[in-house]
Amino acid sequence: MTSDNHTHNRELQRDARAWAAFTGTTYNAALRQMSSPVAQGFLGERVSARQLIAVLDDHELIGAHDGDPILGEGGYLSELPWSFNGKTDFIELALITDMLRMLMPASDATAPEVSSYSLKHTAEWFLRPHCSYVSNGRLIWAAAAVGLRVAAPDDAGLNLLIGVSERGHDYVRRMVGPGQTRPHADHYRPDGYAHLQTELAKAAAGDPTTARWVQSTLVDEAAPFHDWLILQVGRDDVVGDLAGDYAAGIRVSHHRIARTPDELLAIFHEIPHSPEAYDSVVSAIAEWMTTVPSAVPVRTEQTGGDAHGHEGWGAGAGTVARYEYLCPCGDGRIIEEHDNVPGFREHDVQIDCDRCRAEWRFVDGRGVRDWGLEPVAGSTTA
């Protein structure tokens, strides 16, 4: 037996003795819980039973501090005593701490804003079938144990406020909750969401779990057009109205972030919108390109195309290629053609849409294969 394994086993044994004494169960039953594969921490270190017990004594807000218990099964200042079944109580607390770790905010300064009562339901939905019921008190207990900020609202009752990521919690709740509207974008998806879901599914199926999760390194991906558009919120014109609707859609995950004008057009091809809304998109892109002269021209989504050999017209064989792209409004096409046949070498790109021909033009100085679009000055009314 290695030194690390010996140390690990001794920690499990100490936890088992402490948990058995605290819950009134047997040492062997407690040790089985401490040793369970699903209680070893999917998103971090294994939560310690002794740490959990200490929280109920020493925590700044919910600790008893040698007095009467502050936290009960029903929540803050609840007189409902804890109920332990001796079989799964510790395992369930360990899983709740994993779910809360998933929702850890990027900054410790995040103000507690999410109700423990709302979180308890999210935990039940996310952790099924491992936890069919999560009490309000256990959710608060696990949050305090994992180091999240916990606060009592002005109208303090049984529920406390927990300092998890509000947007991340909303994403998870909508993904797993019954009757919820599913998000259409993943920019608020917690980093450990997929890993924890996968490992819980494996455990439920009796399959072995994989190595512990390694948190992704956050990369601040440049989104200059998005940043500019957000700054336009509050303007009293069509661009300001568009920016307000766009920002609202980001907040509720109705659509993804548009890092470039191309991506904003792609979003509008995916969601219902009015002709006036599309006009405001063109106005915003036109203003962006005027504001940032180095802005990359617009390229739309390719929808089809092929290239095939051609026997030629007597001077040798070649190829003929035709590619189709959406036009900016989405109702027509941009057609790019290349005739690479000796004696008939031609390359052409054209907008096959009356509206877009009037509102967009190809940027000068670019080859047919490298075409890019910009709005025609004065094609929309701000």
Nearest-CA neighbor of 272 among 245, 232, 312, 251?
245
Nearest-CA neighbor of 149 among 182, 98, 114?
114
pTM assigned to the model: 0.82
Per-residue pLDDT of the chain (382 residues; tens, 9 = 90+): 456 777 889 999 999 999 999 999 999 999 999 999 999 999 999 999 999 999 999 999 999 999 999 999 999 999 999 999 999 999 999 999 999 999 998 777 678 999 999 999 999 999 999 998 999 999 999 999 999 999 998 876 899 999 999 999 999 999 999 999 999 999 999 999 999 999 999 999 999 887 678 777 655 677 899 999 999 999 999 999 999 999 999 999 999 999 999 999 999 999 888 888 999 999 999 999 999 988 999 999 999 988 776 555 555 666 778 899 999 999 999 999 888 766 666 788 999 999 999 999 999 999 889 999 999 976 554 4
Q: How far is CA 296 from CA 320, 357, 373, in A?
A: 29, 20, 9
Beta strands in the chain (DSSP E): 71-72, 75-76, 114-115, 150-151, 161-162, 302-310, 318-326, 333-340, 346-352, 360-362, 373-375
What does 345-376 look like in DSSP terms, one character per residue? Answer: -EEEEEEE-HHHHHHEEEPTT--STT--EEEP
**Strand, helix or coil for residue 273:** coil
